[in-house]
Amino acid sequence: MSPKSSARERIIDAAEQVVLKEGASHMTMDAVAAKAGVSKGGLIYHFPGLRDLLLAMLQRFIDRVETRMAEARAKLPESPAREIKTYVLAWFTLGSEYRRTASA
């Protein structure tokens, strides 16, 4: 992982932690920068605006769900209900913190 992507991931981690501990309404650029241990300029280098950070958080969540769905789908036999079972299994294997972040 390059230093740029490492810092980017650390910032997304920090944003998730702010949402989990303080709520989505408290996720500001300043709060995330402080939690990630980067300057506000460093944060803006990776995410020019809050919308960009939110999109990155959403993409990370989608990637996690898709990975879990692929793992669950591989274990299930073909059936008409396979996709819904896949989704339910993926959702519950994410863990409560990820589900709470997504809900926020």
pTM for the whole structure? 0.79
Q: What is the pLDDT of residues 24-36, one digit of tens each?
A: 888 999 999 999 9
Structure tokens of 58? Answer: 């959403």
| Positions of the chain with pLDDT under 50 | none
The DSSP code for 26 is G
- In angstroms, how far is CA 10 from the centroid of its own chain? 11
Position 49 scores a pLDDT of 95
Inter-CA distances, 4 with 32, 68, 85, Å: 17, 26, 37
> Measuring CA to CA, which residue among 88, 52, 54 is closest to residue 68?
88
Residue 2, pLDDT score: 57
Integer angstrom CA distances of residue 86 from 33, 36, 69, 72, 83: 36, 34, 6, 5, 5
SS3 95: coil
Structural Rg of the chain based on CA atoms: 16
* Predicted pLDDT of residue 36: 96
